Structure 1
Amino acid sequence: MAGTTQSGAIPLPFSEPPYLCGLPSPYYTPELRKWQQACRAFIGEHLMPYAWDWEKEETVPDHLFHTFAKHNMLIPVLPSPLPVQQLKAVGIHDLLGVVKVEDFTYMHNMIYNDEMSRTGLAGPGASLTTGMAFGVPCVIKFGEKQLQERFLPDAFWGRTRFCIAITEPDAGSDVANIKTTAERSKDGKKWIINGTKKWITNGIWSDYASMAVRTGGPGPSGLSMIVVPLKNHPGVSMRRLKVQGQISAGTTYIELDDVEVPIENLIGQEGQGMKYVMTNFNHERLTIAIGATRQARVALSAAFAYVLKREAFGKPLIEQPVVRHRLAKAGALLESQWAWVEQFVYQMCNMTKEQADVELGGLTAAAKAHAGMVFKECADCAMLLFGGNGYTRSGQGEIAERMWREVNGHRIPGGSEDVMLDLMIRQLAKNYQRKTKELERPSGSSKL
């Protein structure tokens, strides 16, 4: 029935993607809809009812991570296609009995990430999945066989936890200026690592980090990536950082003082770290775009529900033209952003990884940046429409206040907004110039 959700309830405007409001869509097959229902049921049981309490407590209990791992529900955050051979080798053949690992696509990934963000909070979900989403793929894509065999089985089953450690106090979006060093020991058997990493999500709970380090000279060609032990490892000290949003995600400051790491922990080839980091960023940015767009839904639909019942000047707020205008502006941006995300993911499913990296890299950055901008518009709308209630950290306006504090956790990580927008234009120009040059006639040739 058009206009109803899968449960039969009428959804609030802007609360669900159009395909979950009964509207037709070219993207969602019966198999994908079954996957969405399975994700919603699992996340609705284990995460949704408790997320806000855990965010206030600033941590998520260990048992939740193990529950997700036991049911293979950490795996859907990995980029598509999944590492089928490695997963089957450790006994992981399907996800929730619904999707075979070999059938998993970026559409499944998008649906999963959208459902994980229905709590309205990034922190609880990020505490579970950030390491698998962004730390483990480096080992899958670029690690030698011995490295994969040592680390992947335990990571897939949640027996160990990873994080991605790139950002430093003086190197955020400017990855090429990373200062943490990794030097070979005199006997050539170890890396000796010194430096600091900052704003590392999940670091405090992680056994290992896929870490960007400087093994060579200045600039991007001197960067490599290494699997670095963290928890209880000599020379490593970690402490939590207090941040504005995503508090339960465990943002961490890491100090490394003569940390010894086996030479075999190098990921891929020495000096290729910048390439590995940038390739990994595309998946991270798309994940952020999906999550931020869902959080924008949470904020805007809460505001819509509020103005339907809140009265001022003798009538419900929804009857005020200025209120409708503000909802309309934010809603148009929201639905346009979601349509872009769906289109983007469809393109990812129908292009090779090599094609997508070239054609969509800059657009991925832009989608991530724009998702943060849209989230800000929706959170601002909610804050203003809730009025004084939206300025209060409790009561009926708590959701608006909380959503507003979540915004910058999407606008800055994964590449800050202005850098992402600039990257989009630079890559679009580069691709245009390359394609134009390829169409030029060879010098001295009459061939068209």
Structure 2
Amino acid sequence: MYSKYFTEEHNAFRQSFRDFLQKEAVPHIERWEETGQIDREIFQKMGEMGYFGLYYPEKYGGLDLDFFYTVIFLEEMQRINSGGFAAAMWVQAFLGAQHLLKEGDERIKEKYLVPTLTGEKIGCLGITEPFGGSDVAGMRTTAVKEGDHYIINGSKTFITNGVYSDYLVVAAKTDPDAKGKGISIFVMDRETPGISATKLNKLGWRASDTGEIGFDNVRVPVENLMGEEGKGFAYIMQHFALERLIMGINAHARAEYALEYTAQYMRDRQAFGKSLDKFQALRHKMSDMLSEVEMAKCFNYNIAEELDKGLYPVKEASMSKLVSTKIADEVIYQCLQYLGGYGYIEEYPLARMWRDSRLGPIGGGTSEIMREIIAKMELDGKDYKPAAK
């Protein structure tokens, strides 16, 4: 039924990427999970294979492929059971890089975007703040223009790739009195004086480095402003639809893998003289979960198709993140229960998967924020539009 979205070329790509991950990533996952640091070499290998540039123009080293190659990229990374590794890779491919592509001038694209797609430079996106959370318009980080530089002060937190990245795409207020309209976007090199980073110890996504970043009188050249001053809020909102769909796709893929693993465990595990898959209560609950994940998956594919056509599915992407992450949380919790005591043991995949999955309803905008966006559009008639070019 998925032939509507995936061609033979897509399927061949899926198999080759699956093979790549098994060879280049899987042997190192346990070490990365333990150390909280992913080898730079895997970024370079991913870049060499073109995986970071699937959705980008050939002009900047991308492959200019349809978005369903990215869907495969996201789904397959969930199958190796390291939410932190997957996050580090898709953050590299999409979060800061999308701002570089859409708002950066040609100099910025050549200096930062091109080496991002090759994996030579690692990037991160700094929006969330310690006292702000999902309140983007309420950010406190400031950028004051002095001559040919902006002086940036403030802090960001929960930043994936925030400690080991080579550059940062950062949102700051150039007009503190203008609320959301006073935000601007900058790119800055990691070694710029005044930037500090502290690594955070997390429940899940343990392979990725997540940091709290401080800015103490950081001098950023005026030419490192991206887009127009004061339009940063619109730029951020524009890219959130993509990020939230990514989170939704991650969720359905994560839940699908959990169900596959659990179904095989049920076939193999004997209790009271028969395998677990023969117990009606377990079979019927499994049927419910399979149905929910399948519905989320089909919905996400439909949104991906809209995005690929250049549409702007803010409401649908918000729904995707809200519902898919909720389903994944519930499904993985239940799958862990099916494994009994083994589900609670780290040598089995469900323990890590459950921890990693819990970030789904939090990161990239909480479920509460998703509900409010949907309510504003459906109940208040609000219409979110792309930032004017």
TM-score normalized by the length of structure 1:
0.81
Q: In 1, distance between residues paired with 2:383 and 2:204?
A: 41
- Residue 203 of structure 1: SS of its match in structure 2? coil
Distance 1:26 1:69, change over 3 A: closer
- Residue 233 of structure 1: SS of its match in structure 2? coil
Instruction: State the 1:391 CA deviation.
Output: 1.6
Instruction: State the 1:68 CA deviation.
Output: 1.4
Q: In 1, distance between residues paired with 2:9 and 2:356?
A: 32
Distance 1:53 1:433, change over 3 A: closer
8 Å CA contact 2:137, 2:180 repeated in 1: yes
Superposed counterparts of 1:336-351, under 5 Å: 336-350=295-309
Instruction: State the 1:286 CA deviation.
Output: 1.3
Superposed counterparts of 1:40-55, under 5 Å: 40-55=18-33
Superposed counterparts of 1:148-297, under 5 Å: 148-185=109-146, 188-216=147-175, 217-230=177-190, 232-297=191-256
Q: Identity percentage over the alignment?
A: 28
Task: Work out whether 1:83 is the aligned partner of 2:83.
Answer: no
- 1:407-448 Cα shifts (integer Å, max 9, x gaps): 2221111110121122123223456999xxxxxxxxxxxxxx
Which residue is equivalent to 1:8?
none
- Residue 212 of structure 1: SS of its match in structure 2? strand
Task: Work out whether 1:364 is the aligned partner of 2:342.
Answer: no
Task: Work out whether 1:125 is the aligned partner of 2:83.
Answer: no
8 Å CA contact 1:132, 1:163 repeated in 2: no
8 Å CA contact 1:300, 1:381 repeated in 2: no
- The amino acid of 1:332's aligned partner reads S
- The amino acid of 1:184's aligned partner reads K
8 Å CA contact 2:52, 2:92 repeated in 1: no
- The amino acid of 2:340's aligned partner reads G
Which of 11, 16, 28 is equivalent to 1:38?
Answer: 16
Instruction: State the 1:236 CA deviation.
Output: 1.0
Instruction: State the 1:255 CA deviation.
Output: 0.8
Which residue is equivalent to 1:385?
338
8 Å CA contact 1:177, 1:218 repeated in 2: no
Q: In 2, distance between residues paired with 1:269 and 1:72?
A: 30
Distance 1:151 1:61, change over 3 A: closer
Which of 293, 302, 313 is equivalent to 2:261?
Answer: 302
Instruction: State the 1:225 CA deviation.
Output: 0.6
8 Å CA contact 1:180, 1:195 repeated in 2: yes
8 Å CA contact 1:121, 1:295 repeated in 2: no
8 Å CA contact 2:82, 2:207 repeated in 1: no
Q: In 1, distance between residues paired with 2:234 and 2:138?
A: 14
- Residue 159 of structure 1: SS of its match in structure 2? coil
- The amino acid of 2:57's aligned partner reads P
8 Å CA contact 1:83, 1:140 repeated in 2: no
Q: In 1, distance between residues paired with 2:30 and 2:127?
A: 29
Which of 363, 387, 409 is equivalent to 2:359?
Answer: 409
Distance 1:46 1:431, change over 3 A: farther
Instruction: State the 1:181 CA deviation.
Output: 0.5
The unaligned stretches of length 5 or more in structure 1 are 1-17, 20-24, 93-100, 435-448
8 Å CA contact 1:369, 1:417 repeated in 2: yes
Q: In 2, distance between residues paired with 1:132 and 1:370?
A: 24
Which residue is equivalent to 1:439?
none
Kindly report structure 1 stretches of 4+ aligned residues shifted beyond 4 Å. 429-434
Distance 1:349 1:430, change over 3 A: farther
Bigger CA radius of gyration: 1
Instruction: State the 1:144 CA deviation.
Output: 2.3
The CA RMSD measured in Å over matched residues stands at 2.0
Instruction: State the 1:259 CA deviation.
Output: 0.8
Which residue is equivalent to 1:74?
52
- The amino acid of 1:113's aligned partner reads L
8 Å CA contact 2:83, 2:205 repeated in 1: yes
Q: In 2, distance between residues paired with 1:343 and 1:433?
A: 20
Instruction: State the 1:202 CA deviation.
Output: 0.3
Distance 1:119 1:268, change over 3 A: same
Instruction: State the 1:30 CA deviation.
Output: 2.1
- The amino acid of 1:208's aligned partner reads Y
- Residue 183 of structure 1: SS of its match in structure 2? strand
Q: Which range is displaced more, 256-265 or 30-39?
A: 30-39
8 Å CA contact 2:115, 2:121 repeated in 1: yes
Q: Which range is displaced more, 265-274 or 312-321?
A: 312-321
Task: Work out whether 1:316 is the aligned partner of 2:294.
Answer: no
Task: Work out whether 1:333 is the aligned partner of 2:286.
Answer: no
TM-score normalized by the length of structure 2:
0.93
